[in-house]
């Protein structure tokens, strides 16, 4: 597996670092049901990686103008918080090993997520890894969320690296599009089914984050 020369790594959060998406989907479906709507798992998967603005747009188009996105957010947030307060949030396989490898090799890294900062910090705390990410670039730090390039370009700026010296690690099509738009080398570590479009635009596909950890170790052997 060939990686380009790089000095930093930019990670997505939901579905890549944290196993949050399954809990989001359950909360979305329960909230929709309470409001008298039906939201399929497939539709939730299609929204993976979306910003709140994109989620509002897609749900309003799907359910019609009578759909109250504000009520949906209130319900789904309450349902989600009840779930994670009881169960916590699982950290994806290979995360801690990879971060240890990056620190050992003096490679800087950060998160770049479509979530607002308050939500992102809360998720990291529920997962008990908020101490592992000093730099977290969020939706409210840029003008336009993924799939625009803004988040990754801002992350590269904060890391003090040109974007072409950063690896971007993503699990969603929207995130991969953002990496492509930024001109970054992208690595897909899928959390859900891999589509042809995802395979087409990802520079590398890996089964899990341990593969990236091993690839980085091998660069210096």
**What's the pLDDT tens digit per position in 47-86?**
877 777 888 999 999 999 899 999 999 999 999 999 999 9
Q: Where residue 170 falls among pLDDT bands split at 50, 70, 90?
A: very high
Q: Are residues 76 and 126 in the same domain?
A: no
Q: Is 116 helix (H, G, I), strand (E, B) or coil?
A: coil
pLDDT at 220 over 80: no
Among 39, 69, 87, identify where a domain stops.
Answer: 87
- Beta-carbon-side half-sphere exposure of residue 200 (alpha carbons within 13 Å): 6
Candidates 23, 21, 53, 46; CA nearest to 139 is 53
Alpha carbon 21 to its chain centroid, in Å, reads 9
pLDDT mean across residues, the chain:
93
* Beta strands in 55-207, from DSSP E residues, in sequence order: 108-112, 136-137, 166-170, 185-188, 204-205
Q: What pTM, to 2 d.p., does this model score? A: 0.88
CATH number, domain with residue 189: 3.40.50.1000
CB–CB of 47/147 below 8 Å? no
Q: Tell me, yes or no, whether 99 and 172 share the same domain.
A: yes
- How confident is the model over 160-175, as a mean pLDDT? 96
Q: Are residues 57 and 114 in the same domain?
A: no
**Residue span of the structural domain in which 200 resides:** 8-19+90-219
Confidence band (pLDDT; 50, 70, 90) for 20? confident
Residues 79 and 98 in one domain: no
- 153 and 95 in a single domain? The answer is yes
142 shares a domain with 59: no
pLDDT winner (highest mean) among 82-86, 193-197, 204-208: 204-208
Contact 191, 16 (CB under 8 A): yes
Residue 3 in domain: no
For residues 199 and 114, membership in a common domain is answered with: yes
Predicted pLDDT of residue 187: 98
Residue 213 in contact with residue 184, Cβ under 8 Å?
no
174 shares a domain with 195: yes
3-state secondary structure of 10: strand
Does a structural domain hold residue 1?
A: no
Asked whether residue 2 is domain-assigned, the answer is no
Q: Is the pLDDT of residue 217 over 80?
A: yes
Check the CA dihedral 58-59-64-66 and report its sign.
Answer: negative
């Amino acid at each position: 597996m060939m990686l380009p020369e790089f000095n930093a790594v930019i990670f997505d959060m939901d579905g890549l670092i944290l196993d949050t998406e399954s809990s989001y989907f359950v909360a979305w479906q329960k909230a929709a049901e309470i409001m008298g709507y039906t939201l399929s798992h497939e539709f939730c998967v299609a929204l993976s990686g979306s910003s709140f603005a994109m989620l509002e747009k897609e749900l309003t188009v799907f359910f019609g103008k009578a759909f109250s996105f504000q009520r949906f957010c209130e319900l789904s947030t309450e349902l989600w918080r009840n779930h994670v307060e009881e169960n916590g949030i699982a950290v994806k396989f290979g995360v801690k090993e990879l971060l240890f490898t990056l620190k050992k090799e003096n490679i800087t890294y950060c998160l770049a997520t479509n979530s607002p900062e308050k939500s992102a910090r809360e998720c990291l705390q529920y997962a008990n890894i908020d101490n592992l990410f000093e730099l977290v670039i969020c939706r409210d730090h840029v003008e336009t969320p993924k799939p625009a390039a803004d988040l990754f370009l801002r992350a590269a700026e904060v890391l003090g690296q040109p974007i072409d010296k950063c690896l971007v690690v993503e699990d969603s099509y929207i995130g991969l599009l953002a990496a492509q738009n930024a001109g970054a080398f992208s690595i897909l570590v899928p959390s859900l089914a891999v589509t042809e479009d995802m395979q087409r635009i990802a520079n590398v596909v890996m089964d899990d984050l341990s593969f990236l950890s091993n690839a980085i170790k091998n660069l210096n052997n």
